[in-house]
Amino acid sequence: MTKNLEQMKCLFEPQSVALIGASGNPGKISYNILSNIVASGYKGKVYPINPKGGEIFGYTVYTKLEDIPGPVDHAIIVVPAQMVFDSVKECAAKKVQVIQIITSGFSEVGNTEEEKQIVKYAREHDMRILGPNIFGTYSATAPINSTFGPADIMPGGVAILTQSGALGAAMIGKTKAENIGLSTIVSIGNKADIDEADLLEYLMYSDQTKVIFMYIEGVKQGDRLVKKLKEVTKVKPVIVVKSGRSKRGAMAAASHTGSLAGADGVFDAIMKQCGAIRAETVQESLNWCKFLSNTSLPKGPNTVIVTNGGGIGVLAADACEKYGVPLYDDLETLKGIFADKIPSYGTTKNPVDITGGANPAGYEKCLRAAFENPEVHSVICLGCETAMIDVENLPGMLEKIYHDYKDTKPMSFSFFGGDAIEKMVSDLRAKGIPIFNETYDCVSIMGALYKNLHNINEPAEDFSFVDSIKVDEVRINEIVNKVKADGRTFLLAHESAELMRAAGVSMPISKVAHTLEEAVDLATGMGFPVVMKVVSKDIIHKSDAGGVALNLENRDEVIDAWEAIMHNCRKYNPNAKITGIEVCEMVKSGTETIIGARQDSSFGPTIMFGLGGIYVEVMKDVSFAALPISKKAAMNLVESIKSYPLLLGVRGEAKKDINAVLETIIRVGKVLLCCDKITDIEVNPLVAYEEGNGAKAVDARILLTKD
């Protein structure tokens, strides 16, 4: 067992708990925490600490932590902020393993330095900190409820990790109201130390936990989260809601918990890459949690929709496409199952329309036939209220069907209508049956289930191709160190080109000419046409300065271009020190793509891909992934841009060399990973040629760390 896992066990399954700041005053937060610990039936030792001593809830109150006779593995600090550090020091002396700091007043209000000091001290003394600024933790395994939220928590299979305390506390009540059992609920607050990745390590092995739900506002150390999520989602579903999608929301999140919300596109893409299932709202995620913690996995992709109305059938089919629910399309089998059970004017095509005349007996016949057929793997049952639907007998039939088949095949229901239908839906939901009014809700839970199935069936990531691709790490670092020694945080174009060549990225032949004669010789040597670009550390935007000349066909054009570039650049910035003019091979035209790699403030090393020109500038048609990237993930990156068909070739055009693009993506990613002084790389454009003819990078921009 790793040290982290041991300490997370002390968080969720402590042998003994000390409550520092325990008060006998029912109006105090610490009183409520102690009251919840007692009410939850916690079997370990409980040690309230308060300088006044005495007794609370029959427990002896110790005046100091050091006076406790036995060991303490878990402490909860509920004293005002200015006293917290001293309490942490007392915990170190007592060899506490993990501390929850409930107290607010740290980085969320700008008191970042003290928070850092506390964590540094704790880590130096082998202790872990949850919080500060949290509402506490519940664990059904211990069991222990050390929150100051509601006392009444229903044990079950859903683990909730929440960065918002208030929302988390409210979710305790909400889950109870929705009949959702929790394995744990843990408030992460400022996540000064323990973060989602630490908690996921424990939850992955927790038998009690069937589904994990994370409410996130901002990601810190996202590279650890990515690694852990990839492991956990192969074993159990992780559902994520991230607020701060919009600019306004991101600003609000930053002031709420003091963490950066980061770009939503990057977050979204990386969650998909890791197999996390992203929900838009808390209600949607709770629907998914409830379903996924109670249902069996489908044995295959064949979902059948049974409906009494064409309209809701079409809505459901739309929703299946949106949420990725695979619909069964074997017309013969469907006919075989349903033809003799529905009127001739119904349809056996999926969605199967059993017609508006369907009564509970008609539904039952069709549903049983679907569940009994081995080709059908899951069922979505829909209904619109009609005079025939018989709301008296419908609920009993649905309940029976649910119990008869729930352990073998997943199913979800949606019924739409008046008061009687609304009542039926809420009564059946209270009994744990996955039924909704809204068609999309009933399909979305099935979508989450199929995403989970996909994650579980997905083979482990294969890095053999990536490992076989080598980049010259020594040369790359030499080039970067030389630029750093020169006091620059960016590479000049010829330096970037050299670095890219060291990474095995195909770049046009280029050399810097220091005199006109040299330029003419170089151009003649490499063959026309050529491109000429000014080389000056004082001129970053070469085109704006008139420092670039394209498509030079002969000696005379090279001479004219030399003079024009020198003239333009001296006029643009008279003080610019011009090293020379770079003479490059003119790259043949093809499909322009763009590859970016950068150290993201939330996720660390990430990579971006898109088509060049208007696709990136106007349409913002780009995709992201976390590094390192496998060949398959690189392919997902390329396939997930909307303009991907252009690479496959449209209107009779040939397919482009996608393999060469993938290899370049992998090489650029490797450059970022092998040199921690590089913050940004942009290869723009990378021109992709027809399949088999490779790809060539025309230009590369590389930025370095400022320190």
Q: How far apart are CA 330 and CA 142, in angstroms?
A: 49
Q: Which is nearer to ligand ACO, 134 or 443 (CB)?
A: 134
Radius of gyration of the chain from Cα atoms? 31
Q: How far apart are CA 639 and CA 642, in angstroms?
A: 8
Within residues 178-197, the interface with ligand ACO by CB under 6 A covers 187
Residue 348: both structure tokens together: 């056996």
Q: Which is nearer to ligand ACO, 171 or 499 (CB)?
A: 171
How many residues bind ligand ACO, per CB under 6 A? 28
Where do the DSSP E strands lie in 362-483? Answer: 378-384, 411-416, 435-436
Residue 53 has, within 13 A of its CA and on its CB side, a CA count of 3
Tell me the sheet residues that pair with 583.
511, 532
Site string (370-409) toward ligand ACO, x via CB under 6 A: ----------------------------------------
Closest distance between ligand ACO and the C-beta of residue 244, in Å?
A: 17
Residue 174 lies near ligand ACO (rule: CB under 6 A)? no
Reported for 219-222, long-range contacts at CB under 8 A and 24+ positions apart, including other chains, are 219/259, 219/260, 219/262, 219/267, 219/602, 219/603, 220/191, 220/195, 220/259, 220/602, 221/195, 221/197, 221/604, 222/262, 222/270, 222/600, 222/602, 222/603, 222/604, 222/626
Residue 80 lies near ligand ACO (rule: CB under 6 A)? yes
Cα–Cα separations (whole angstroms), residue 471 to 208, 399, 516, 638: 45, 61, 35, 22
In 3D, which of 96, 120, 92, 102 has the Cα closest to residue 21?
102
Among 8, 37, 78, 320, binds ligand ACO (CB under 6 A): 78
Q: Which is nearer to ligand ACO, 108 or 657 (CB)?
A: 108
Residue 53 lies near ligand ACO (rule: CB under 6 A)? no
Chain-centroid distance of CA 326 in Å reads 23
Among 8, 11, 21, 669, binds ligand ACO (CB under 6 A): 21
Q: Which is nearer to ligand ACO, 89 or 278 (CB)?
A: 89
Q: Which is nearer to ligand ACO, 48 or 309 (CB)?
A: 48
Closest distance between ligand ACO and the C-beta of residue 241, in Å?
A: 17
Residue 622 lies near ligand ACO (rule: CB under 6 A)? no
Closest distance between ligand ACO and the C-beta of residue 169, in Å?
A: 5
Residue 401: both structure tokens together: 């069907």
Which of the stretches 16-24, 218-226, 253-261, 563-571 binds ligand ACO when contact is defined by CB under 6 A? Answer: 16-24
Whether cis (ω within 30° of 0) applies to the bond prior to 351 is yes
Residue 106 lies near ligand ACO (rule: CB under 6 A)? no
Are the C-beta atoms of residues 508 and 584 closer than 8 Å to each other? Answer: yes
Q: Which is nearer to ligand ACO, 30 or 206 (CB)?
A: 30
Are the C-beta atoms of residues 534 and 545 closer than 8 Å to each other? Answer: yes
Are the C-beta atoms of residues 388 and 357 closer than 8 Å to each other? Answer: yes
The C-alpha angle with vertex 206 and arms to 204 and 208, in degrees rounded to 5, equals 130
Site string (275-304) toward ligand ACO, x via CB under 6 A: ------------------------------
Which of the stretches 74-82, 92-100, 205-213, 337-345 binds ligand ACO when contact is defined by CB under 6 A? Answer: 74-82
Residue 672 lies near ligand ACO (rule: CB under 6 A)? no
Are the C-beta atoms of residues 356 and 386 closer than 8 Å to each other? Answer: yes
Site string (126-155) toward ligand ACO, x via CB under 6 A: -------xxx--------------------
Q: Which is nearer to ligand ACO, 99 or 686 (CB)?
A: 99
Q: Which is nearer to ligand ACO, 50 or 510 (CB)?
A: 50
Burial of residue 640 (CB within 10 Å: 0-12, 13-18, 19+) is middle
Q: How far apart are CA 235 and CA 397, in angstroms?
A: 34
Among 165, 218, 326, 346, binds ligand ACO (CB under 6 A): 165
Amino acid identity, position 73: D
Residue 104 lies near ligand ACO (rule: CB under 6 A)? yes
Closest distance between ligand ACO and the C-beta of residue 150, in Å?
A: 12
Among 52, 248, 541, 706, binds ligand ACO (CB under 6 A): 52
Q: Which is nearer to ligand ACO, 163 or 350 (CB)?
A: 163
Closest distance between ligand ACO and the C-beta of residue 115, in Å?
A: 13
Q: How far apart are CA 656 and CA 694, in angstroms?
A: 8
Residue 69 backbone dihedrals phi, psi, to 5 degrees: -70, -40
Among 103, 183, 259, 308, binds ligand ACO (CB under 6 A): 103
Q: How far apart are CA 39 and CA 32, in angstroms?
A: 10
Q: Which is nearer to ligand ACO, 19 or 425 (CB)?
A: 19
Q: Measured at CB, which residue is nearest to ligand ACO?
A: 165
Closest distance between ligand ACO and the C-beta of residue 125, in Å?
A: 18
Q: Which is nearer to ligand ACO, 131 or 181 (CB)?
A: 131
Site string (545-584) toward ligand ACO, x via CB under 6 A: ----------------------------------------
Q: Which is nearer to ligand ACO, 2 or 25 (CB)?
A: 25
Among 83, 235, 474, 550, binds ligand ACO (CB under 6 A): 83
Within residues 216-235, the interface with ligand ACO by CB under 6 A covers none
Q: Which is nearer to ligand ACO, 167 or 512 (CB)?
A: 167
Among 8, 10, 17, 20, binds ligand ACO (CB under 6 A): 20
Burial 489-509 (b: 16+ CB within 10 A, else e): eebbbbbbbbbbbbbbbbbbe
Site string (22-51) toward ligand ACO, x via CB under 6 A: -xxx--xxx------------------xxx
Are the C-beta atoms of residues 581 and 532 closer than 8 Å to each other? Answer: yes
Pick left, alpha or beta for residue 551 (phi over 0 → left; psi -120 to 50 → alpha; otherwise beta): left
Residue 642: both structure tokens together: 């909307």
Are the C-beta atoms of residues 423 and 394 closer than 8 Å to each other? Answer: no
Which of the stretches 20-28, 209-217, 419-427, 523-531 binds ligand ACO when contact is defined by CB under 6 A? Answer: 20-28
Q: Which is nearer to ligand ACO, 133 or 259 (CB)?
A: 133
Residues near ligand ACO (CB under 6 A) are: 20-21, 23-25, 28-30, 49-52, 78-80, 83, 87, 102-105, 133-135, 165-166, 169, 187
